Structure 1
């Protein structure tokens, strides 16, 4: 095949390779409904030509009856007693039965398509969520990957109708073959003329479908901006600041600016598509009526009967519609298949951080602790190192605090401990083995972490605690125990429905909490895990000094004998740690107890004095 032609076909038809995979997924959603849908379409595909042929027989029978001498009009009983007229009545009854059957089968096919689309949409959404859960944190934080995820999310349910369209194309192909066989018996050259007239329209649609997909693909970032601006302008989470800062007009202006660019591009494409489509449609109509004139002329000349005229004209009209529909439908399927590439290419993304094929069991209990050996890490796309040449030990049963200014590497260390990222240099050991030697789920199950930017789930209060160890969400005693340890039990006790109270403002009956109350709920998640390593990364920023002290007093009490890491800017809190690591530029600058670091008179003592001066 000529290389330019092959390239052209690859660009326009290459995405069709995803159709078999889509069919397998749709069939897997409900094998019985899928098979029933195929059977219904197969039967219905044969009915249109049968209906048209029966109509031809009726017309020929009527013409023949007009030629027979009949002195007076016949009564109904005499009409049915006449074998010729009885045959005509039978043909009318047969046409009625075929019409009713065709309608019922069409409605059944539509019903089955809808049921299958719902089942597939749900199954595809579940698959997307599970695959997204396997991806690395870095893949979520990359803007290009976010665009790809957004495109996949848009397609996960929107392409279920494609299967119905493909099955409809198959049904129309069978119908077309039946009409073509009947038409070929009279004038086979008409079929070739008809196809030749419609191919240019098909190529035109293919071209503009490709242009439409390319426009949608390149404008994904702008569409994400529009979604974000809509969220900012009409969301309970942002309503207070939008009102207080008077941001509504500014947000609307930004949205309109982005929208104008999208609308202008779409308008230009639609205008070109309409002009070219109209030209090809006019050419097709001219050819159709030219052929229709030939059929009428040959009927007048006596070559065809009135029934033949009806059958040929009807067949030709249906063939024209079928061929045009098939060609345009195929171009639309090819266009939609390009969007399938967005979905299936997302499923082809593989995480870099994975469990080993033969993981080692995570030690229970942990006897040695964690060791950082010359660890270096920089975030993807960043020229600077978040941490570099970082070495320290976190002994089993030890509580350490990480102190440092923003950007010192505190949260990065936590992400490395939990294998949300892997080091770019060096290694991290748990009881003498690299973290990568353990299964991810087992490793993370041993660590309870609460970040400052924890998620406020619009679930019930009990479910908000249970997400810390969702497999035990039915264990009410464990949930209550975790809430008691974080002091969230007093917050929940004040709610009208207690642990069954929906939180947040997104759904009916939801009750919102203060920042400090939310943080106590979030801290309960860490206790819910009953993990051997507990990490609190600035989770008490919204608490007042007294509440924070109470939380960390409880934390200190409950972590006796466990390994723990706490991060806080308040030195009254970190002083309770066994050891404090002072970080600067991603390295350990100082290490020791609160008293020892104050005697050292270094960076820690300087920061402590600066904070203490604010309370004098």
Structure 2
């Protein structure tokens, strides 16, 4: 019972700690690679809005075509104008995405470079007493192993979340204007799939922590089988087969547990995915009724249906990304703890202040 209590009370604290860590990480990025980060975010916002423009133009072109069919077989200037804008917007989308790709790579590499520099410098200045404490050493090793991958994932996830968030905001506004019930349906059928991704994502991530010993055993044994200076010792004592079987067993345990989780996730993905498609079918029915009633045109029908699909996808991706952020921030929190570790022992880099009193001999 005490354990359950402490977990509950820690949840708000964990959330606040994650928020503080996210703020620290964003400020760190702005301090180290400000221009690249801002450019990356702005381009992500532009890219997120383009699909709505494309869907709107497609709908308008469809309406003009229906109107034109009843009047003439020739293309009108309005249709040609819409097609030209559609092509121009598609080309613009390709150009923006290409620039975004270049900026994104530079952001990732420059951030990695700055992080490496700062972590190496911090390690070089740490008091030696920190290396004598096994718990602190283990924590610092965890930071050293994960800080690059987790930092990259967090920043990449942050910019990748802009697209689904824009889809949720714009989609909600547009569908509310048409029929508010479609918003409720989209959220009701998209949320379970998103929650499913979050649950299994956490389980898979948690396994990496709980199976740390299995991974450690495998890595340790593997070194004896693939490292030159260890192989001679292994062969001298005829331990090759024994160590190979042990490493094989550890590897099987490691992969089997992950595979079981992934397979279960896929089964649930299929179930909730089918439910989500059913929800889209209901929205299709509602929009069809609005079209037949003359409330909206065929082109608007196409636009609203595309919007509903983007909204549903945006809800799923946003919640999945936020769940991943929570896990990544736990690691990044330890990175900033490491950066904020203070030395208490005077080292060779410390400059002593001069005193007026002469030394006593």
Judge same fold: TM > 0.5, yes or no. yes
Alignment of 1:252-331 (within 5 A): 252-331=244-323
Q: Which residue of 2 aligns with 1:24?
A: 27
Contact kept? 2:190, 2:313, Cα under 8 Å: no
* 1:174 counterpart = 2:172: no
Q: Which residue of 1 aligns with 2:100?
A: 109
Over 3 Å counting, the alpha-carbon distance change for 1:280 and 1:175 in structure 2 is closer
Over 3 Å counting, the alpha-carbon distance change for 1:4 and 1:343 in structure 2 is closer
- Distance in 2 (alpha carbons) for counterparts of 1:8 and 1:202: 21
* 1:229 counterpart = 2:232: no
Contact kept? 1:125, 1:156, Cα under 8 Å: no
Bigger helix share: 2
Alignment of 1:154-553 (within 5 A): 154-159=145-150, 160-351=152-343, 353-355=345-347, 359=352
Contact kept? 1:172, 1:322, Cα under 8 Å: yes
Give how far 1:301 is off: 4.1
Give how far 1:203 is off: 3.2
40, 43, 46: which one aligns with 2:46:
43
Over 3 Å counting, the alpha-carbon distance change for 1:344 and 1:270 in structure 2 is farther
63, 82, 96: which one aligns with 2:87:
96
The SS at the match of 2:105 is: helix
5+ long unaligned stretches in structure 1 = 80-84, 362-430, 434-616
Q: Which residue of 2 aligns with 1:151?
A: 142
Give how far 1:350 is off: 4.1
Contact kept? 1:26, 1:116, Cα under 8 Å: no
Q: Which residue of 1 aligns with 2:3?
A: none
Over 3 Å counting, the alpha-carbon distance change for 1:168 and 1:273 in structure 2 is same
- Distance in 1 (alpha carbons) for counterparts of 2:331 and 2:238: 39
- Given the two structures, how large is their TM-score scaled by the length of structure 2? 0.84
- Distance in 2 (alpha carbons) for counterparts of 1:13 and 1:233: 46
- Distance in 2 (alpha carbons) for counterparts of 1:182 and 1:88: 24
Aligned length: 351
- Distance in 2 (alpha carbons) for counterparts of 1:235 and 1:138: 31
5+ long unaligned stretches in structure 2 = 1-5
Contact kept? 1:44, 1:102, Cα under 8 Å: yes
Give how far 1:129 is off: 1.9
46, 54, 66: which one aligns with 2:57:
54
Contact kept? 1:15, 1:334, Cα under 8 Å: yes
Between 284-293 and 206-215, report the one with greater CA deviation. Answer: 206-215
* 1:118 counterpart = 2:109: yes
Give how far 1:264 is off: 4.1
Structure with larger RCO (C-alpha < 8 A, sep 6+): 2
Contact kept? 1:202, 1:331, Cα under 8 Å: no
